Amino acid sequence: MNPVVIVAAAITEAMEQSKPTPPVKGPPLPSKLGIAWPKSKLSEELARAKPGLRF
């Protein structure tokens, strides 16, 4: 497989995982990283990592 395709797929997967999940009853589940990212903090980090990206 083309390395560019692999990288693009990995980025897409990471972006999908970073999307906010719908509210659920009970406590929110921890992320795979085990870190509860505040949405504003996550947006700041993503904006810094990819300046052209807007949410």
Position 33 in a domain: yes
pLDDT tens sequence across 1-55:
687 888 877 777 776 766 665 555 555 555 554 555 556 666 666 666 666 555 4
DSSP string, 10-54: HHHHHHHHHSPPPP-SSSPPPPTTS----HHHHHHHHHHH-TT--
pLDDT of residue 55: 46
Domain range for 37 is 3-49
Domain count, the chain: 1
* pLDDT at position 14: 74
- Is residue 55 assigned to a domain? no
Q: Is pTM beyond 0.85 here?
A: no
Q: What is the pLDDT of residue 6?
A: 80
**35 falls within a domain:** yes
Residue 25 falls inside a structural domain = yes
